[in-house]
Structure 1
Amino acid sequence: MAWQHLVTSPLRALTSRMIGAWTEPRLVEPAPDALALEPSLPVLYVLPSQAMSDAWLLAALARRHGLPRADGRRRVGELTLDACLPLPSPRRGLWRRRTRPAAPFQGLVEQRLASPAQDVQLVPVSVFWGRAPGKRFGFWHLVAADSWQLTGRLRRSLSVLVNRRSVEVHFGTPLRLGDLLDETTPDPALVNRKAARLLRVHFRRVRTRVLGPDLSHRRTLIEGVARSPEVREVVEALAAEGRPSAPRLQRRALRYGREIASNMTYPVLRFMDGLLRRLWNRLYDGVDVRGLERVKALAGDHTLVYVPCHRSHIDYLLLSYVLYHDGLMPPHIAAGRNLDMPLIGPLLRRGGAFFLRRSFRDNRLYAAVFNEYLHRLIARGHPLEYFIEGGRSRSGRMLPARPGMLAMTLRSYLRSMAGGHHQPLAFIPVHIGYERIIENASYQRELRGGKKRKESPLALLRVLGQLRQPFGRVSVSVGEPLLLGDFLDGELGPKWRQERETRPAWLTGLVPRLGETLCRRINAAAALNPVNLVALALLATPHHAIELRLLERQLDLLAELQRRLPGAAHASLPAGTAADWIEQALALGMVQRREQPLGDIILADAGQAALLGWYRNNVLHLFALTGLVAFAFRHQPAHGLDELEALLAPGWPILARELVVEPPASLREALSAMLAVLGELGLLARGESGWQRPREPLEAGECLDLLGQLMQPSLERGYLLLAVLLNAGPGRLTAEALADQGHQLAERLALLSGRDAPEFFDTRLFVSLVESLEEEGWLWREEERLMFDDRLCEAAHHSRQLFDPALRHRLQLVTRQA
């Protein structure tokens, strides 16, 4: 090919070596040794365009990683071809229409048809010298980054100089020409076009995945939103109602658009990448990323909506950094307007944040502008990120999903479907787990009734003062993506695809189910770490103190249970041993070691125990069924499978909803498997009539009690709530009154029993518990009063058998005193 022969062969080799020595690729994906090339078949590399710098860099990488040569010419059967082939670019003459030259594979196809043994492997390679999402950035746009526009020789030369450490190389799956042949009508020209088309689709998908969709200028986008038919309709309606004039309302719509819209810029992404890399190295010991291959499989041809759990302000930055660092386009992030503060707000906006008010139900014009802006992002395929919980979780639990953003996303998707132009949309659940968070103190203060402090630059400076403290590691775990089209098919059948309304009647009922499904998928990707494992074991003891030897055994037990019967589909365990995990918790200051002649003791003071409750709640759902089964053997030493199922079946769905865990398809089968595993681990023994607590060794019984203690707070809350409800009788209490009385009783019980755990009597837990009872059909409303029948009384009486007499007496005493 003439493009490779613009310079002589020795000069090409020299230039390739110089570029190889000059550049330090930031990302090579997948690893070259994972390409699974067939050694017996020749390899030709394919580039998306004629760029000598890409070919020279590829030649250097091939030498460095021991891949087949990518420079010079190769003998393929009877043909001699360049080892690196570009797909031809479209040409347009002065008086001719734009045409695309034929791809250079026809000779290879004809040779393969003549001799089936003469096959060849085509390896597509995409090279990005920096990354820019297709916007104008002045001088930096000229020299610093790839975009969707074609790159000239001068700009590419300058880019090679500037981006030596910001190069990404993406290898595609090898494509064999023989796999494309149609044996019935083998047409070389047709196969040649088919190969070129497949490669172009691949290159476009990779480019979309890395750069994101091509962005229009922010000002053009805002003006388009403000002048859209949907916004103008609201403007005219408000003007007709005697509100301000239409021109004034139009100017207000533009002001709302500027208040909302992000202004993602590549220089800021580059700056924040370097800044955050230093921050993570300073703040954390490392970031563990799992499951990102699920995102990469969808990123090229799906609109991605990331829905992470919300634990810390760091969440905003962490996920964008992880995606950018792994070769994916950072998303546009929905952030609260409270973060649009001086200095911080402009930086976040240029990093991709768009801001929304906490509530805009009574502002029709703002709602129309925001909906239109969100729709245009989704319709153009831009990745999005928002937190379906609404705010950060102060208790460490997964909060119920808020319907607002989910409903707007669904309406936008239906609007695109009705318009006949859309691409598939996928929700990406993400679990973010910390060994220590920077908001520890503020969360505890707010759980005790303190006011939430307003965000400000001064508050940020106070946070920066904590950077010298150890914060351990952080994990980012991607769960099972939810394809919105498939979800709607499963919930509604195919009829929704003929829907032409953007607000159908079924939308209101569907959004909560979508939110619940996403919350479960987020929790299903939870990552266990040393701190939450230690918290699970230590907080199960009466006085938050445990012998070091017993703690190690309990941690080993928790890990083994997770390996044998995972509490969630994509949950993960930390590296190391139980002793390593305890040392990590000690190093982070989460627990203390007290040396004793008979053996060291690990303990937590009142402040540490309150903090550990937050980390325990991050992963408590992973041991929900295990803890419930263990608790059943605390008071009654033996249970048969039938008896155990009858005992646990009424309360299990309520507990599963509280902890946001996917219930098993068959509770009986899950209980049978759980009993078998507990028996294999020595915590239960099979008897004549079923399973029973082991008499020896005593330590096994202690481990079983610690497991059961995990579920005791949840069961106590349920007991208190039912006691209030049954004592009052049907039709006497509203849902709000019941939740409030349950909260007061739980707070009283915590004070009387010496628990310093505000999350135990969190009002939201009781509100959610009442909602769960309604969802399961135990309660219903008549004129806002809660009604129930004898079925609830019988189930409550049956469930009381879980509690031993002493605990039941204590709970009844607290209820009667109140």
Structure 2
Amino acid sequence: MFSPVQMPLWLFLVIAGFAAYAALDKIMLPSVRWFFRRRMERVVARLNQSLERPIQPFKLARRHDMIQRLIYDPEVSKAIAAHAQEEGVPENVAFETAQRYAREIVPSFSASLYFGFAIRLAKLISTTLYRVRLGHYAENKLSEIDPDATVVFVMNHRSNMDYVLVTYLAAERSALSYAVGEWARVWPLSRLIKAMGAYFIRRKSRGALYRKVLARYVRLATDGGVMQAVFPEGGLSLDGALAKPRMGILKYIVEGHDPDGRDVVFVPVALNYDRVFEDRILVAAGQAGERRFRAKISVLAKFLTKQLWLRIRGKYHRFGYAAVSFGAPVSLRAFSTAQSGPEVVEPLAQELMRRIGQEVPVLPVPLVATALLWAEAPLTRAALEEAVKDLVEDLHNAHVHIPRDDYSYAVEVGLRNLRRRRVAIERDGCFAVSSEDRPLMEYYAASIGHLFRVRGEVG
């Protein structure tokens, strides 16, 4: 019994490794996790004192616990059984599929990473690349939102910078939970985005089981009071104009809402830019009639290297203005009560897109682009300034940003951006649209085109 046993060194090391892992897992790691969780709770408690809307406990739940809660949800269990029967597979296989979907969707929010790193980075990127402006802020209406309500920012989707810009400007309100597409699933970006509280969605998935898992997560997050940000258009605008709303996430939020429970308040958010980084890619995709476009790492690296080199040489200029407007909120409870029929999702989506459209900030580049496109002949600098003034006079209820309240400077900013990219050309002291890049000029003009047709007041 006590006689020595000989074994190969590699086998001894394997046994010792398993023993060490077991000791860590059962004895040391629980204590370490408890220590860091207590520390996180203290950080969140301090943060909640400064935030307009405190971080909800749902957002702070352990990711493993949230995944378990999701896959054992009664509705998800029914979907698992239906999927197994439909596909002719055992229920345990269908269960594993649902578990994989849940792991893909559920984020792992880190308050320290979000408020200690993400917001600082968002501010640095936003203010380095743009002159950031707050177009409109319906302070009186927004201050009346029920503190217990779930707030959902609904935004137009102009650029992937939208995430960064709104994260920065909403930093004092609370932590936002974004619905992000498959572009954000690339490692290591995926880890960072999940830690910031974003949840992934497969835009093109049509599987009933996946949709049910996603719908239940959105519903649980909404019931838990998590502040969210969604894009009703479902994807980036390919022509610069507002697109028709898609029902996806809005439907998940609305369905199953308890009128006597926690209210859901939608805040229309509208963004606009003097330059959208993806503009040429988006316009080309729109002309091709498909959304299959990918941003290559090499293209991004080349762009960043060029900007750094310009900065070193002292020739760097920011890309004009970026502006965000926050409109009057819409209460789901009040909106549902006011509807004459049972259908709520589609009328709500239309109303939200209408309000977003009315809040779109008007910036120098879209104004100059519109003036040049509408002109029957090339314009002198003075004639272009007059044309821009006439456009602004026709925008009675729009949120127009004229930098320095100087039309001459506004036209200078717009022309500088367009001429630098050869979208606008100058000949004999007159400015016109480059025939080759006319679609790009139309892209920027389309961002405010609807404001010349619909300018009604929001009630």
What TM-score do you get using the length of structure 2 for normalisation?
A: 0.81
- Matched residue SS, 1:402: coil
Would the aligned equivalents of 1:321 and 1:330 in 2 still touch at CA under 8 Å? no
Q: Deviations over 1:311-344 (max 9, x none)?
A: 11111222122111xx111221111123211222
- For residues 368-383 of structure 1, the aligned pairs below 5 Å read 368-383=212-227
Distance 2:250 2:380 in 1: 47
Relative distance call for 1:253 and 1:168 in structure 2 (3 A) is closer
- One-letter code of the match for 1:611? L
Which of structure 1's runs of 4+ aligned residues deviate more than 6 A? 662-665
- One-letter code of the match for 1:520? R
Q: Tell me, yes or no, if structure 1 residue 546 matches structure 2 residue 379.
A: yes
Q: Tell me, yes or no, if structure 1 residue 298 matches structure 2 residue 145.
A: yes
Aligned pair partner of 1:401 in 229, 245, 263: 245
- Tell me what 2:350 maps to: 516
- Tell me what 1:72 maps to: none
Would the aligned equivalents of 2:135 and 2:361 in 1 still touch at CA under 8 Å? no
- One-letter code of the match for 2:391? L
- One-letter code of the match for 1:392? L
Q: Tell me, yes or no, if structure 1 residue 618 matches structure 2 residue 452.
A: no
Distance 1:168 1:224 in 2: 25
Would the aligned equivalents of 1:339 and 1:455 in 2 still touch at CA under 8 Å? no
- Tell me what 2:301 maps to: 461
Distance 1:546 1:212 in 2: 55
> For structure 1, which segment, 382-391 or 284-293, has the greater mean C-alpha deviation from structure 2 after superposition?
284-293
Relative distance call for 1:168 and 1:349 in structure 2 (3 A) is closer
Distance 2:380 2:430 in 1: 4
Relative distance call for 1:369 and 1:583 in structure 2 (3 A) is same
- Tell me what 2:333 maps to: 485
- Matched residue SS, 1:304: strand
Aligned pair partner of 2:256 in 397, 405, 412: 412
Would the aligned equivalents of 1:212 and 1:329 in 2 still touch at CA under 8 Å? no
- Matched residue SS, 2:400: coil
Q: Tell me, yes or no, if structure 1 residue 583 matches structure 2 residue 412.
A: yes
- Matched residue SS, 2:440: helix
- One-letter code of the match for 2:390? L
Q: Deviations over 1:35-79 (max 9, x none)?
A: xxxxxxxxxxxxxxxxxxxxxxxxxxxxxxxxxxxxxxxxxxxxx
- For residues 173-572 of structure 1, the aligned pairs below 5 Å read 209-214=53-58, 215-240=60-85, 243-269=88-114, 270-288=116-134, 290-291=136-137, 293=139, 294-298=141-145, 300-324=147-171, 327-361=172-206, 363-413=207-257, 416-417=258-259, 422-449=261-288, 452-455=292-295, 457-458=297-298, 460-465=300-305, 467=307, 470-492=318-340, 506-507=342-343, 510-543=344-377, 545-562=378-395, 565-566=396-397, 568=398, 571-572=399-400
Q: CA deviation at 1:143?
A: 7.5
Would the aligned equivalents of 2:371 and 2:388 in 1 still touch at CA under 8 Å? yes
Distance 2:118 2:100 in 1: 27
Distance 1:315 1:435 in 2: 13
- For residues 646-661 of structure 1, the aligned pairs below 5 Å read 661=454
Relative distance call for 1:577 and 1:365 in structure 2 (3 A) is same
Distance 1:277 1:334 in 2: 21
Q: Deviations over 1:79-105 (max 9, x none)?
A: xxxxxxxxxxxxxxxxxxxxxxxxxxx
Q: CA deviation at 1:593?
A: 7.0
Relative distance call for 1:456 and 1:368 in structure 2 (3 A) is farther
For structure 1, list consecutive stretches of 5 or more residues without a partner in the other structure: 1-135, 152-166, 171-205, 494-505, 625-660, 666-818
Q: Deviations over 1:265-298 (max 9, x none)?
A: 1232121222222212321133435316344542
Q: Tell me, yes or no, if structure 1 residue 573 matches structure 2 residue 401.
A: yes
- Matched residue SS, 2:448: helix
Q: Deviations over 1:398-455 (max 9, x none)?
A: 0000112221111131xx34xx6x2111111111010111012212322332863234
Relative distance call for 1:523 and 1:465 in structure 2 (3 A) is farther
Relative distance call for 1:486 and 1:289 in structure 2 (3 A) is same
Q: CA deviation at 1:465?
A: 4.2
Q: CA deviation at 1:228?
A: 1.0
Relative distance call for 1:308 and 1:145 in structure 2 (3 A) is farther
Distance 2:76 2:48 in 1: 41
Distance 1:168 1:261 in 2: 23
Q: CA deviation at 1:621?
A: 1.6
Q: Deviations over 1:180-205 (max 9, x none)?
A: xxxxxxxxxxxxxxxxxxxxxxxxxx
Relative distance call for 1:144 and 1:423 in structure 2 (3 A) is closer
Would the aligned equivalents of 1:235 and 1:249 in 2 still touch at CA under 8 Å? yes
RMSD: 2.9
- One-letter code of the match for 2:166? L
Relative distance call for 1:538 and 1:342 in structure 2 (3 A) is same
Aligned pair partner of 2:434 in 575, 587, 605: 605
User: Size of the alignment, in residue pairs?
Assistant: 410
- Matched residue SS, 1:492: coil
Q: CA deviation at 1:584?
A: 0.5
- Matched residue SS, 2:276: coil
Q: Deviations over 1:663-702 (max 9, x none)?
A: 689xxxxxxxxxxxxxxxxxxxxxxxxxxxxxxxxxxxxx
Distance 1:664 1:438 in 2: 32
> For structure 1, which segment, 237-246 or 393-402, has the greater mean C-alpha deviation from structure 2 after superposition?
237-246
Relative distance call for 1:388 and 1:470 in structure 2 (3 A) is same
Would the aligned equivalents of 1:333 and 1:386 in 2 still touch at CA under 8 Å? yes
Q: CA deviation at 1:168?
A: 9.1
Distance 2:298 2:129 in 1: 19
What TM-score do you get using the length of structure 1 for normalisation?
A: 0.47
Distance 2:38 2:297 in 1: 30
Relative distance call for 1:144 and 1:290 in structure 2 (3 A) is farther
Distance 2:286 2:99 in 1: 40
- One-letter code of the match for 1:538? L
Relative distance call for 1:554 and 1:330 in structure 2 (3 A) is same
Distance 2:41 2:35 in 1: 10
Distance 2:144 2:169 in 1: 16
Distance 1:240 1:616 in 2: 52
Relative distance call for 1:168 and 1:331 in structure 2 (3 A) is closer
Relative distance call for 1:466 and 1:588 in structure 2 (3 A) is farther
Distance 1:138 1:290 in 2: 44
Q: Deviations over 1:357-392 (max 9, x none)?
A: 12333x222122111111110011101111111111
Identity %: 25
Distance 1:140 1:232 in 2: 31
- One-letter code of the match for 1:609? R
- One-letter code of the match for 1:357? R
